[in-house]
Copies of this chain bind each other. A is one copy, B any other.
Amino acid sequence: MKKYAFGVDIGGTSIKIGLMETNGDMVETWEIPTNREQSGSRILSDIAEALVNKMEENNIVYDDIEGVGFGVPGPVLSHGIVNGCANLGWGTVDIPAIMSRLTGIDKIRVANDANAAALGEMWKGGGQGNQNVVMVTLGTGVGGGVVLGGEIIPGTFGAAGEIGHMTYSAAETEQCGCGKRGCLEQYASATGIVRMAKRKLQRDERRTVLRGLPALSAKEVFDAAKENDMIALELTDDLGEALGIALSHVSCVIDPEVFVIGGGLSGAGNILLDSIKKHYEKHAFHASRNAVFELAKLGNQAGIYGAVYLLLN
């Protein structure tokens, strides 16, 4: 194994890059903007330039670079070929072929970004020491990544880990961004909890600090819950129930060892984790009740770590 590797996490706004030692130590991280003009055709050459410059800056020669790992916001086929990334303007893009040509580095690995983050958290984050890890990212939506036996499960159609689109309530009338109705994401994301809070405030007459706030956010719901605001506590419990039931479904399918909870909402900490666990334990099959819940530890660097980990096996 060579001494260094690059991890690249391509997002719709910025590209996060990490120079790591292959033993797992992060040397340096930085970001460059995502140029989405001309169907994102400059993105890979911008990255190649950034990598080559960083090598020169640090006097790192090609013989010291194990390879470059990528996390991308779209489905990845075999051999690292990306099958469309709407956020980047990409159609089918053969990252390994293009990057090898642009950088002279042969070993290129590519994974979906949610899966790369799950792999990163397994390696150096909340799932460290375990091989069967499910990562759940609670942000604007609900994302997920599945790692079994230390390897990403991509799914037949690239849709493994789409935990946010499990039907949670078949009776839902509003539509999810995916076109379905009643997806977990409509209840358990940042936008989901605000949606549920507004719905509850309309139907419930009780006093709550949430009423009359200029703009309601997930953070305000959790903060109010920590102050024992009854409406906020019920909203937190409802969110924990949605996630707890959904993750009990996950256990009935693949029975993971650890669930790592990340994304912006995970900043709420134990009040969220405890609520998820309470409902999970009620609904999980008995053998799976010992699964552990951990908060994500790598923040927005999880994808970089996972991208590098792709190169190590």
Contacts and interface: CB of A to CB of B under 8 A. Distances in A.
A159 interface: yes
A113 to B, nearest CB: 16
Interface residues of A, number: 42
A121 interface: no
B255 A254 contact: no
A170 B252 contact: no
Interface string A116-135: 00000000000000001000
Given A156-B291, A170-B245, A291-B156, A252 B286 contact: no
Contact of A255 (B157, B178, B245, B249): B157
A87 to B, nearest CB: 16
A154 B132 CA distance: 11
A255 B160 contact: yes
Nearest to A157: B287
Interface stretch (A42-50, A161-169, A194-202, A267-275): A161-169
Nearest to A132: B156
Contact of A179 (B148, B153, B170, B286): B286
A242 to B, nearest CB: 11
A245 B167 contact: yes
Interface in A241-285: 245-246, 248-257, 282-283, 285
A288 interface: yes
A91 interface: no
B283 A159 contact: no
Contact of A165 (B158, B159, B180, B252): B252
A299 B159 CA distance: 30
- Ordered nearest first, which 9 A-B pairs have the shortest CB separation? A155-B255, A159-B287, A156-B257, A159-B255, A160-B255, A165-B285, A157-B287, A167-B283, A253-B253
Interface of A: 75, 132, 146, 148, 153-163, 165-167, 170, 178-180, 245-246, 248-257, 282-283, 285-288, 290-291
